[in-house]
Amino acid sequence: MSLGSVPLGSLGGVVVRRRLAGDGLLLETGPFVTRIRSRIASVAEGLASVYRDYLVHEPGAFHDFDCELRAPRTLRRLYHPQVLFLSDRRSVFKPLAYHQAYPMLEWGMNWCIASLVQHRLVLHAAALERGGRAVLLPAPPGSGKSTLCAALAHNGWRLLTDESALLDLETGMVSGPARPVSLKNASIDVIRGFCPEARLNPPVHDTLKGTVSHMSPPRTSVERAGETAEPAWVIFPQYRQGAQARLTERSPGESLTGLIDNAFNYAALGARAFHGLGGLSDRVRSFDFVYGDLDEAMDVFQRLADGR
Answer whether residue 73 shows pLDDT above 90: no
Place 307 in a pLDDT band, splitting at 50, 70 and 90.
confident
Answer whether residue 273 shows pLDDT above 80: yes
Nearest to residue 40, comparing CAs of 99, 120, 93? 99
Residue 94, class by beta-carbon neighbours within 10 Å (0-12 exposed, 13-18 middle, 19+ buried)? exposed
pLDDT of residue 226: 79
pLDDT of residue 2: 53
pLDDT of residue 134: 98
Q: Report pLDDT digits (tens) over 96-134.
A: 999 999 999 999 999 999 999 999 999 999 999 999 999
Supply the pTM of this predicted model.
0.94
Place 76 in a pLDDT band, splitting at 50, 70 and 90.
low
Dihedral over Cα of 132, 138, 141, 144: its sign: negative
Q: Tell me the backbone φ, ψ of residue 176, rounded to 5 degrees.
A: -170, 170
Q: Report pLDDT digits (tens) over 224-258.
A: 997 999 999 999 999 999 999 999 999 999 999 99
Average pLDDT of every residue of the chain = 95
What are the residue boundaries of the structural domains of the chain, listed by start?
A: 6-116, 121-305
pLDDT of residue 3: 52
State the average pLDDT over residues 196-222.
Answer: 96
CA 187 to chain centre: 16
Ramachandran class of 133: left when φ > 0, alpha when ψ lies in -120 to 50, beta otherwise:
beta
Nearest to residue 246, comparing CAs of 208, 293, 201, 280? 293
pLDDT of residue 79: 64
Q: Report pLDDT digits (tens) over 158-198.
A: 999 999 999 999 999 999 999 999 999 999 999 999 999 99
State the average pLDDT over residues 44-61.
Answer: 96
